[in-house]
Amino acid sequence: MKKTVVVFGSSTGTCETIANTIGEKLGAEVINVTDFSADTVAENDNLILGTSTWGAGELQDDWYDGINVLKGADLAGKTVALFGCGDSESYGDTFCGAMKEIFDACEGANVLPGVSTDGYTFDDSDAVVDGQFVGLALDDVNEDDQTEGRIDAWLESIKGSL
């Protein structure tokens, strides 16, 4: 695997815990988006980017500066994978929608495919494109019993591209 960093934005700690799990499984460095910079992008071949979703499908607050880093960086030759945390019961109409904002900011990168919406219960999400999420969607609030299996299946599907 090429040099990989896992970058997360987390307000309650859920996305941070998931980022650490992903980092451990890959043997990759894990950093908070508050420490994310153009140097981070330049020093890594693979960027695994994760956010929680708030309110009406909004990014975790710290990610707004991270989006500017992505938009200002040269992402040519970089591989990007996305993951997002959400609450499909209470926010079923915006479930994991914040992933789409990061997806849109990764223009020029090789963004790896996300996961199918099969097996998820939600009403709508901006993060669904052509019938699948733009990354790994996780509901650690209502479906925490599925989190580990979803992470493992997703990592297995993307490892060959990292």
CATH code, 4-161: 3.40.50.360
0.85 exceeded by the pTM? yes
> pLDDT for 7-36, tens place per residue?
999 999 999 999 999 999 999 999 999 999
- Domain regions of the chain by residue span: 4-161
Residue in 103, 21, 101, 18 with CA at minimum distance from that of residue 61? 101
Distance between CA atoms of 29 and 22, rounded to whole angstroms? 10
Express as a percent the part of the chain with pLDDT over 90.
92
Residues 6+ apart with CB under 8 A from 45: 2, 3, 4, 77, 78, 79, 162
> pLDDT for 31-80, tens place per residue?
999 999 999 999 999 999 999 999 888 999 999 999 999 999 999 999 99
